[in-house]
Amino acid sequence: MSKTHPRTPMPAAMRLATAAWLIAAVVLILAGASFLLTAQTQRQDSQGLLTLGILGIALGALTAFYSLRLRRGKRSSRETLTTLALIAGVPLLFRGPSLMALGALLLACAVLLWLPQSSRFYSVTDPRVRRRRLAARR
């Protein structure tokens, strides 16, 4: 039952958010691969670069997975990607120009997920279950 409601088209903000998150996933994977390649050529900091490379690729794969779930209207994907954007994006803003751009991209992607159009889309495709209703049914 995770499919989008047939009468609810995906709003433009959500289409843009999905595309932007997929781009962010590709950038994370490429950054991770870059760190791995750099680790092979440097003797100093190779362990740190290797760790960053693996982390970048893992975060990219996680981002891609949840980005694809956005199209299905899953509320958990919005919450997971927002958390990822805050945890990874804010520190990246203070790590130099190239990583600052990636941090800004992640945070901009998160903002798209919380626009009024996006919230309306989620209220139809994956409505929250009220705990009071569940308690009343018991």
Distances in whole angstroms, Cα of residue 4 to Cα of each of 21, 28, 62, 112, 123: 19, 28, 21, 18, 11
**pLDDT average, residue stretch 116-128:** 85
Question: Quick one: how many helices (H) and strands (E) in the chain?
Answer: 7, 0
Nearest Cα neighbor of 14 from 137, 88, 124 is 124
Q: What is the mean pLDDT of the chain?
A: 86
Poorest-confidence range of 53-57, 101-105, 123-127, 130-134?
Answer: 130-134
Q: Is the pTM of this model over 0.85?
A: no
Would you say residue 132 has pLDDT above 60? no
**pLDDT average, residue stretch 14-37:** 92
Report the distance separating Cα 84 and Cα 50, nearest Å: 21
**pLDDT average, residue stretch 108-124:** 90
Instruction: Please report the pLDDT score of residue 104 as a whole number.
Output: 93
